Amino acid sequence: MANGNIKVLKTILNWSEEPFDESYFKDHDFVAGDIDSLSQAGVHAEYLDTLKALKKEIQAYLDWAQPKLDAGVNEGDLTLFSTVNLHIFQTYYGGLRPNADHTKWIYGDYKLVSQFIEGGQDLKGWLEDQGALFDESVQPTIVGALWNRENDFLGCDLDGDGTADPDGSNTKGKSVFNTYIATTKNTLLNTVANAADNAIMTRTKAESLLTDDGAVTGVKAKMYDGTEVTLHANKGVVLATGGYAANIQRVMDTNEYWADGDITSSTKTTNRSSLVGDGIDMGTEVGAGTTGMGWTQMMPISWVDNGNLAFGGGNYAIYLNPKDGTRYVNETSERDVLSLGEFENGVSYDGAQGTVIEIANASQAIPGPYPYGTPKDSDLTLWNSDVENRQYTRTVDQLDDLFKQLGFDCTGEQVKETILAYDKALMENKGEDLDPEKTGWTALIGNAEKDENGNYKEDTYTLDGVQLKVRLLAPSTHHTMGGLTIDDERHVLDEKGNVIKGLYAAGEVTGGIHGGNRLGGNAIVEIFVSGRTAANAIDADQK
């Protein structure tokens, strides 16, 4: 259990079971990520049974945990509480959001949310059958995930010898994100090898869907050299083309959530350039409906120079205002909460609006660049090297010169005071007393030893001489929650809710699942589950 998460569980335990009342926020400020307030507004009817079941699970856990806490055991040393109901409910409230003027609310469709979470419970075993290898000794988290729900991905075993293949692209060091690449490569290779009629067409762009009397019967495409291709589907077509986060103009045109000026034509993206919404267009051209198109997720931990994902998590780091060196957000909050905080507290740097300072202990392994846990010396040497306009490794007494070099107004002394106050509160297990509070934390910024109960020994604390990782981060577009309207079998629906025969969709091209904000890691689970669901639906529709 990460420190501070008991408070989250107790908030859920006291969540109002009355029907969700939007009017509650006429007299109370809505602050994204503030579940203390959100919990007073009630719950949508579809999620009530999940909430009731979750409360029983939480109470049973607290009945076990509280005596241990009372005996002096540190919360971070307790066995992690994690259930399917918690995941479903956090996906619900993590995506429950109003539009900018609070005239419309959005949240994930219960059937779709519960389906991908419940369907994901056997996902790891299925991936392992495809060659994926996981480290079950750690339970890390990623930015905006709200909970520790992952295992470290160690690579893909393509040759079946039980170890990750050392071919460069499929070995450890790529985090959970490479699970998809490695295992899909293995699955595709096996599929093509075992079915002579299958083919993978690269450098070929799908342009439109073929229809016959309203049913989708194939795809028209064009190869890189101009050769036109017509693919006839015997059973159905699955759109799995992703979202449109790389289409900044489309993001701005559809936006209903972000304040005017937050997203501009100079906003960068974590996405590859091809993700501009072509699959959604292909679907709507044959009558498909769309939902949730006004909500785009910004990735708060993106490099300021090119918008690429910097990787990492807020459980071990602090995010600081470059103007005064203060914290401004609970770093383990949802991604939209972190991005909203950046736009409000950050500065324009190298053309990136909302640039902030992230500081962590340089010995902390960052999820993504290398394996979780204790990094090798070579990993740290590489990843802690200075990269201009991105990251720097400094001791606290060297921060003043760095900030002057970067043109920031904050001083090293201001940041030192912030770190000392932050670490002191965490060592005293009073993260909730910080302003902003800190939940779900796992590490200090400075160094301190722990006692046998997992509590920090304050008299061993030091910040002087500690190597700090300083990164410059800003929001960039990352995931579009809106997309094609689907049912829970991944049939694409028209604007009246009717199934478009022969057309299915999976992954980010669909809408209705994540509401107004996607929890970190949920897309990885959803793409696999929705892909399998679509395939099973095609098979069932032929019978």
Catalytic residue ranges: 335
Query: Which positions ≥6 away from 211 have C-beta within 8 Å?
Result: 217, 286
Residue 394 and residue 434 in contact, taking contact as beta carbons nearer than 8 Å: no
**Is 390 in a helix, a strand, or coil?**
coil
Cα 480 to Cα 270: distance, rounded to the nearest angstrom: 12
Q: DSSP assignment of 227-253, as one string? A: -EEEEE-SS-EEE-----TT-HHHHHH
Query: In 3-state terms, the chain is what percent helix, strand and coil (to 5)?
Result: 35, 20, 45
How far from chain centre, in Å, is Cα 147? 11
What is the CB neighbour count within 10 angstroms for residue 531?
A: 17
What is the CB neighbour count within 10 angstroms for residue 454?
A: 14
Residue 509 and residue 486 in contact, taking contact as beta carbons nearer than 8 Å: no
> Cis bond leading into 67, ω under 30°?
no
What is the CB neighbour count within 10 angstroms for residue 400?
A: 17
Sort residue 286 into left (φ over 0), alpha (ψ -120 to 50) or beta: alpha
Cα 75 to Cα 93: distance, rounded to the nearest angstrom: 24
Beta bridge partners of 476: 299
Let me know the angle formed at the C-alpha of 277 by 342 and 246, rounded to the nearest 5 degrees: 35
Residue 366 and residue 314 in contact, taking contact as beta carbons nearer than 8 Å: no
Write out the two tokens for 79: 């066995």
Cα 200 to Cα 188: distance, rounded to the nearest angstrom: 8
Write out the two tokens for 139: 């339970």
